[in-house]
Amino acid sequence: MNIAVYPGSFDPITNGHLDIIERASKIFDKVIVACAINPSKKPLFTIEEKMDLIKEATKNIPNVEVSSFSGLLVDFCKEHEAKVAIKGLRALTDFEYEFQMALMNKRLAEDVETMFLMTRAEHSFISSSTVKDLVLFNASPEGLVPPCVIEPLKNKIAEKRKASNGQ
């Protein structure tokens, strides 16, 4: 079975991520979307919330699984018998960082390949951070994130706003 891992922070999943997942699911027998647990990053959503949103957004793609990992990506790939790690590339600015990561991962695990999928032009400006900023400034995230993300995102930002006003 040809298994690929698509890792990321997914805080939250965007339409850019979803497009990469859909396209990867047509190339591989199984795609494992792996949500990184990174305590140093202060995410908006908990790991469980992020995974639930990814599950909901991908529920119509039968060969997609959602999981989480801490530690090295290549170790997660090996544990799950995945020979490929998928990365989405937006602009040239993504390339430098991703190239460095790919080389580091290659050094760590010779038998895990990094495969890059270019974003669609219409998604090239979308990131989880800009989507969070939009909602923070009361703009609509419609068309940028899967529909199931919109309400939870608005609620989370409202909670955050309330917490920071209370300080």
Active site residues: 17, 41, 90, 128
Tell the smallest beta-carbon distance from residue 161 to ligand PNS (Å): 24
* CA–CA distances in Å: residue 20 to residues 10, 46, 60, 111, 119: 13, 22, 15, 22, 7
- Footprint (CB under 6 A) of ligand PNS, residues 108-167: none
| Stretch in the footprint of ligand PNS (CB under 6 A) among 56-64, 98-106, 130-138, 142-150 | 98-106
Helix (H) or strand (E) holding 113: strand 113-118
Told to check if 73 binds ligand PNS by CB under 6 A, we report yes
DSSP symbol at 120? P
Residue 72 or 139: the one with the smaller Cβ distance to ligand PNS is 72
DSSP symbol at 110? T
| Stretch in the footprint of ligand PNS (CB under 6 A) among 5-13, 53-61, 112-120, 134-142 | 5-13
Told to check if 9 binds ligand PNS by CB under 6 A, we report yes
Question: Tell me, what amino acid is at 115?
Answer: M
Q: Which residues pair with 115 in a beta bridge?
A: 86
Told to check if 8 binds ligand PNS by CB under 6 A, we report yes
Contact 8, 45 (CB under 8 A): no
Please give the residue ranges that form the binding site for ligand PNS (CB under 6 A). Answer: 7-9, 36, 72-73, 101, 104-105
